[in-house]
Amino acid sequence: MSRKDFLVFGSPKIEQPEIDEVVDCLKSGWIGTGPKVHQLEQDFKQYKGSKYAVALNSCTAALHLSILAAGIGPGDEVIVPTMTFAATANAVIHAGATPIFADCQKDTMNIDPDDIQRKITNKTKAIIPVHFAGAAADMDAIMAIAKKHNLKVIEDCAHAIETEYRGRKAGTFGDFGCFSFYVTKNIVTGEGGMVITDNEEYANQIKILGLHGMSRDAWERFSDKGFKHYQVVYAGFKYNMMDMQAAIGIHQLSRIEKYWLRRKQVWEKYNQAFKDLPVYLPSPVEPDSRHSYHLYTLLIDTDKVKISRDEFLNKMTEQNIGIGVHYIALHSHPFYQKTYLYKEGDFPNAEWISNRTVSIPLSAKLSEDDVDDVIEAVQNAFHS
Ligand SMILES: *Cc1c(COP(=O)(O)O)cnc(C)c1O
């Protein structure tokens, strides 16, 4: 009954133009940070409508450098959702500051503005909302809180390249928008990330911090415009993107709307197929907003059905379907419990989701047969 080959979760669609561009890059002899990275930055800032875009080697690096550029460090607190990937909180820790968790809303899974409000102290310097699964966070409420308390906003847009909130693009509300081109994300460069901002000083600082803290980047240093000395102005990091990565990204970005449309079709087919199962479907897209359709998450209705979430995961892998869990809330992981004394019971909504959530494959690469295999496997998991 089940498919012969394993359907890899979040497998990216790679097409011939990016393969050719990577080969071209290798043959050019310029594989480091150079003209292709510059082009990806230009294309990306045009897509998002931001003044500046700086390409880096991950979204984690983008978050880290945004926090540093905002002047946040030891003694400062930054509010992040507990329902997110570890990188959101770890970037705060890498900057020497303390992540303060907030609960999420049960339906949207996005950070709860009321809980942000409760967590603000005189040490709070910033909020990092995550546009969860591609659904825009409640940016009106979050920006109002930030304004009232004079906080920076750094948007974690790892799931949200195409997301819009009330007609405005995700990543352009806050001081910084941070994006990921990791292999499972909506468009990929292998590893890769981007920061967008409208603040020239922030953009320059991030560029310098991302390449050893040197005052000029390698492209200018080795160009034919004449030798230039550099000065080290910070103890910087090695976070630059290279042209081999950007070679993939340029073509991926040119197909972003096509891929979005395909994932939207799959999303709608899943919604239709699962509407009578003992699951909670993803919450509907908010009016005037755009979902990026990054993750399709089902919540197993454990009150109505005997199987646990973990049994469901096993039943899916037995049927050769790759699945994910996004996420077990951060406050349930040993590091954050040990270091910040969080415990079970602290964030009821995030825990409720953590115990029920499963993500099933959603990628532009899925064929109609793949989608049918996923649907059949989900139905089998409840009926066997
Ligand atoms: C993937 C992800 C990141 C990290 O992205 P990288 O590019 O892998 O560093 C950060 N936040 C969230 C919510 C993510 O899903």
User: Using one digit for the tens of pLDDT, what is the confidence trace for 64-81?
Assistant: 999 999 999 999 999 999
Q: Is the pLDDT of residue 227 over 90?
A: no
193 Cβ below 6 A of ligand 1 = yes
How many angstroms separate the alpha carbon of residue 87 from the centre of ligand 1?
6
Question: Domain 256-383 is classified in which CATH homologous superfamily?
Answer: Aspartate Aminotransferase, domain 1 (3.90.1150.10)
Rounded to two decimals, the pTM is 0.97
Residue to mutate, 56, 57, 58, 60, ligand 1, most ligand atoms under 8 Å from C-beta: 60
How many angstroms separate the alpha carbon of residue 85 from the centre of ligand 1?
7
Q: Which atom of ligand 1 is the closest one to the Cα of 191?
A: 7
How many distinct helices (H) and strands (E) make up the chain?
14, 12
Mean per-residue pLDDT over the chain, rounded: 96
The beta-carbon contacts of 349-352 under 8 Å, at least 24 apart in sequence, are 349/83, 349/103, 349/104, 349/105, 349/106, 349/112, 350/81, 350/82, 350/83, 350/103, 350/104, 352/106
Average pLDDT over residues 132-143: 98
Q: Is the pLDDT of residue 179 over 80?
A: yes
91 Cβ below 6 A of ligand 1 = no
How many angstroms separate the alpha carbon of residue 144 from the centre of ligand 1?
26
Q: Percent of the chain beyond pLDDT 70? A: 97
Question: What is the C-alpha radius of gyration for the chain, rounded to an integer number of angstroms?
Answer: 21
230 close to 214: Cβ distance less than 8 angstroms: yes
- pLDDT at position 215 is 86
- pLDDT at position 360 is 98
Residue to mutate, 83, 128, 182, 252, ligand 1, most ligand atoms under 8 Å from C-beta: 182
Backbone angles phi, psi at 297, to 5 degrees: -110, 130
CA angle 278, 279, 280 (to 5 degrees): 140
208 close to 69: Cβ distance less than 8 angstroms: no
Query: pLDDT digits over 211-221, tens only?
Result: 999 986 555 66
Distance, in Å, from the CA atom of 154 to the CA atom of 290, rounded to the nearest integer, reads 20
Catalytic: 106? no
189 Cβ below 6 A of ligand 1 = no
Q: Which residue type sits at 330?
A: L
DSSP codes of every residue in 35-71: HHHHHHHHHHHHHHT-SEEEEES-HHHHHHHHHHHTT
Among 91, 242, 213, 248, CA closest to 158: 91
Q: Which atom of ligand 1 is the closest one to the Cα of 326?
A: 15
Average pLDDT over residues 134-145: 98
Q: How far is CA 263 from CA 13, 47, 256, in A?
A: 12, 19, 11
Q: Which atom of ligand 1 is the closest one to the Cα of 61?
A: 9
- pLDDT at position 383 is 86
130 Cβ below 6 A of ligand 1 = yes
Among 91, 308, 268, CA closest to 180: 91
18 Cβ below 6 A of ligand 1 = no
Q: How confident is the model at residue 287 (pLDDT cuts 50, 70, 90)?
A: confident
196 close to 171: Cβ distance less than 8 angstroms: yes
110 Cβ below 6 A of ligand 1 = no
Q: Which residue type sits at 12?
A: P
Average pLDDT over residues 167-195: 98
- pLDDT at position 154 is 98
Query: pLDDT digits over 88-129, tens only?
Result: 999 999 999 999 999 999 999 999 999 999 999 999 999 999
**Would you call 211 helix, strand, or coil by DSSP?**
strand
Cα 21 to chain centroid, rounded: 25
How many angstroms separate the alpha carbon of residue 159 from the centre of ligand 1?
8
Q: How confident is the model at residue 86 (pLDDT cuts 50, 70, 90)?
A: very high
- pLDDT at position 3 is 87
CATH pick for 16-254 out of 3.40.50.1820, 3.40.640.10, 3.30.420.40, 3.40.980.10: 3.40.640.10
Average pLDDT over residues 160-184: 97
Q: Which of 48, 169, 185, 207 is catalytic?
A: 185
Query: pLDDT digits over 320-365, tens only?
Result: 999 999 999 999 999 999 999 999 999 999 999 999 999 999 999 9
* Domain ranges across the chain: 16-254, 256-383
DSSP codes of every residue in 85-109: -HHHHHHHHHTT-EEEEE-B-TTT-
Among 60, 96, 100, 63, CA closest to 82: 100
How many angstroms separate the alpha carbon of residue 383 from the centre of ligand 1?
35
Q: Whose Cα sits closest to atom 2 in ligand 1?
A: 158
Structure tokens at 104: 């999420």
Residue to mutate, 110, 111, 180, 297, ligand 1, most ligand atoms under 8 Å from C-beta: 180
Residue to mutate, 59, 183, 357, ligand 1, most ligand atoms under 8 Å from C-beta: 59
